[in-house]
């Protein structure tokens, strides 16, 4: 049994109350996490506030070196953290699983550490000199979801630290252990109070909600559902917090008629089923041209049948369980409804425990729940279209606008279609391939602001202009 402490002000804080953390592959309790009180949160915010003056006044080079020490620590403990992710999240160690997640965390941390926001000279002439400086905000509150617990934590924490902020992070109650351990490890190379972690079970009042309203926190970076993101935005208004909200997606993929169905099958599958579909920018609806629809379905089914699903700790598995019962029930209900309306090509029924077989359902249309709602699980609806403008209209007919993809051998045509899609990122002949040097964020209800690259870094600062 793993009993992880919270880290507040550089010290391990023993829990006065705890909650159980379960392995979704087996249902077994693998550890306990502290159920923080509001006093614990206040202590974490106070520790981060106390650490802020010294941290924010460090020379830029020293901040960069401290962030690079974080990268090294992640690397040294990558396998331990990957195993913890698999145990509590369910994703396999292998494939696009927890080792891959740790590789991503290190890559993002490294890239972000090496970024900088130097002073920008806006004017320097006989009329005067105008300098644009970027100043850290203070304490940043990070609230993370359960699908990529450590990669998303790093997406939040590294740009905050790199720009001179201090942090209080709160992971999802479904996956608190890897984050608690990571913060404990990173505190061996960071000054006390710079990075603090609190956890709560969300039952008797949410620590996340208290963070969004907390007067000592200057910014919330939140990744999670649209509904919770709206609550965060409402609470944050009272203290005029800065916000980055990375919310849900219902990404569409559009397959144009010139594609080779066999050649794209693997890319389509992983674009949709990465992390069992529990990925914000996974392909959640697939629009396929009538002329190749049946062939695409056939090759997709053939590829999907080759992908082993099972306990993530077994080295050969490439798909794991759905992470929690609530999500499983949601996927099961959407699939049950879709089976009545469309043609089941593969999967369809709940398996053992939280394992839900990879499911492909054709014959659906906009208006069907599996098409309109974010399933966030291993079930892909396939929609036949005849005219590309019709497909673009269907793809854009969604309150969300996170990502999208276009599949074609004609890159010029694909880019023309991509430019008409209402979303923050569009990939051509792949889906969801985010990278640390490109800003990532949602349009419409999928969020506010961006992460990654210089644009993402700027969101952890306020501009200050000095006129002389
Ligand atoms: P969720 O909204 O249920 O929970 C996210 C976090 O918010 C958790 O830490 C939770 O404890 C906390 N929380 C709960 N109530 C809160 C409140 N009132 N105020 C503040 N925080 C509160 O989301 P989830 O189920 O963990 O994650 C799945 C969702 O996240 C999906 O919709 C998915 O698309 C989205 N997501 C988006 C991105 C992205 O980058 N856009 C990435 C991953 C996941």
Determine which one of 67, 226, 280, 423 is catalytic.
280
Whether 280 is a known active-site residue: answer yes
Residue ranges lining ligand 1, Cβ < 6 Å = 143-147, 170, 172-173, 202, 206, 208-209, 212, 223-225, 228, 231-232, 246-249, 280, 374, 376, 402, 442, 447
Q: Name the residue with the closest Cα to ligand 1, atom 38.
A: 280
Domain range annotation of the chain: 2-247+446-467, 251-428
| 450 alpha carbon – ligand 1 mean position (Å) | 16
Tell me what pLDDT residue 203 has.
Answer: 83
Note the pLDDT of residue 303: 98
CA of 89 to the centre of ligand 1 (A): 14
Asked whether the whole model's pTM tops 0.95, one would answer yes
Nearest CA to ligand 1 atom 26: 145
- The per-residue pLDDT for 440 is 98
Give the residue, by CA position, lying nearest to ligand 1 atom 21: 208
CA distances from 221 to 5, 8, 155, 400, 450 (A): 23, 19, 10, 19, 10
Q: For residue 317, what pLDDT is reported?
A: 98
pLDDT for the residue 349: 85
Question: What is d(CA 322, CA 81) in angstroms, rounded to the nearest whole number?
Answer: 20
| 246 has catalytic annotation | yes
Q: Which atom, in ligand 1's list, is nearest to the CA of 249?
A: 34
227 C-alpha to ligand 1 centroid (Å): 8
Residue 226 CA, ligand 1 centroid: distance in Å: 8
Fold: same for 2-247+446-467 and 251-428: no
Distance between Cα 223 and ligand 1 center (Å):
5
pLDDT score at 399: 98
Q: What is the spatial distance between Cα 132 and Cα 315, in angstroms, rounded to a whole number?
A: 51
pLDDT confidence of residue 14 = 83
Pocket-testing residue among 153, 206, 228, 402, ligand 1, by greatest number of atoms within 8 A of Cβ: 228
If we measure between CA atoms, which residue out of 187, 199, 134, 132 comes closest to residue 157? 187
User: Which residues, 6+ apart, have CB-to-CB distance to 176 below 8 Å?
Assistant: 4, 21, 33, 88, 199
- List the catalytic residue out of 67, 88, 197, 246: 246
Tell the residue nearest (CA) to atom 22 of ligand 1.
208
pLDDT at 394: 98
Class of domain 2-247+446-467: alpha beta
| Torsion from C-alpha of 210, 213, 219, 223, nearest 10 degrees | 50
- Say yes or no: domain 251-428 is CATH 3.40.309.10: yes
- Residue 399 CA to ligand 1 centre (angstroms): 17
pLDDT in tens, the chain (468 residues): 898 899 999 999 988 899 999 999 999 999 999 999 999 999 999 999 999 999 999 999 999 999 999 999 999 999 999 999 999 999 999 999 999 999 999 999 999 999 999 999 999 999 999 999 999 999 999 999 999 999 999 999 999 999 999 999 999 999 999 999 999 999 999 999 999 999 999 886 789 999 999 999 999 999 999 999 999 999 999 999 999 999 999 999 999 999 999 999 999 999 999 999 999 999 999 999 999 999 999 999 999 999 999 999 999 999 999 999 999 999 999 999 999 999 999 999 888 999 999 999 999 999 999 999 999 999 999 999 999 999 999 999 999 999 999 999 999 999 999 999 999 999 999 999 999 999 999 999 999 999 999 999 999 999 999 999
Residue-level pLDDT at 219 = 98
Ligand 1: which residue has its CA nearest to atom 17?
Answer: 209
Q: What was the pLDDT predicted at 163?
A: 98
């Amino acid at each position: 049994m793993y009993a992880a402490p919270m880290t507040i002000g550089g010290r391990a804080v023993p829990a006065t109350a705890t909650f159980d953390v379960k392995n979704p592959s087996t249902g077994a309790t693998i550890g306990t996490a502290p159920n923080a009180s509001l006093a614990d949160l206040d202590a974490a915010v106070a520790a981060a506030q106390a650490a802020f003056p010294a941290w924010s006044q460090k020379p830029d080079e020293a901040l960069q070196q401290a962030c690079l020490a974080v990268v090294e620590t992640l690397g040294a403990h990558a396998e331990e953290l990957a195993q913890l992710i698999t145990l509590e999240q369910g994703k396999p160690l292998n494939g696009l699983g927890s080792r891959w997640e740790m590789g991503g965390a290190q890559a993002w941390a490294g890239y972000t550490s090496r970024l900088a926001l130097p002073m920008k000279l806006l004017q320097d002439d006989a009329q005067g000199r105008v300098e644009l400086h970027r100043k850290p905000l203070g304490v940043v509150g990070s609230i993370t979801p359960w699908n990529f617990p450590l990669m998303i934590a790093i997406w939040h924490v590294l740009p905050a630290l790199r720009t001179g902020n201090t942090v209080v992070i709160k992971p999802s109650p479904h996956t608190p252990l890897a984050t608690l351990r990571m913060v404990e490890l990173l505190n061996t190379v960071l000054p006390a109070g710079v990075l603090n972690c609190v956890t709560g079970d969300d039952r008797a009042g949410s620590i996340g909600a208290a963070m969004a309203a907390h007067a000592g926190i200057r910014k919330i970076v939140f990744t999670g559902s649209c509904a919770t993101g709206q609550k965060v935005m409402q609470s944050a208004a009272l203290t005029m917090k800065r916000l980055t909200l990375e919310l849900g997606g219902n990404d569409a993929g559009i397959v144009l008629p010139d594609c080779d169905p066999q050649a794209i099958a693997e890319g389509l599958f992983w674009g949709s089923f990465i992390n069992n579909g529990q990925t914000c920018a996974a392909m959640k609806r697939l629009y396929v041209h009538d002329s190749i629809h049946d062939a695409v379905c056939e090759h997709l089914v053939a590829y999907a049948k080759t992908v082993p699903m099972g306990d993530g700790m077994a080295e050969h598995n490439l798909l794991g369980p759905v992470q929690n019962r609530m999500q499983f029930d949601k996927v099961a209900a959407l699939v049950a409804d879709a089976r009545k309306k469309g043609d089941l090509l593969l999967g369809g029924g709940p398996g053992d425990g939280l394992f839900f077989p990879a499911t492909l359902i054709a014959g659906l249309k906009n208006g069907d729940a599996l098409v309109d709602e974010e399933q966030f699980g291993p079930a892909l609806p396939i929609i036949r279209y005849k005219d590309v403008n019709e497909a673009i209209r269907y793809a854009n007919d969604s309150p969300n606008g996170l990502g999208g993809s276009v599949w074609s051998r004609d890159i010029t045509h694909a880019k023309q279609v991509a430019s008409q899609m209402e979303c923050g990122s569009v990939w051509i002949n792949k889906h969801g391939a985010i990278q640390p040097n490109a800003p990532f964020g949602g349009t419409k209800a999928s969020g506010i602001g961006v992460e990654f690259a210089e644009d993402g870094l700027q969101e952890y600062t306020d501009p200050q202009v000095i006129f002389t």
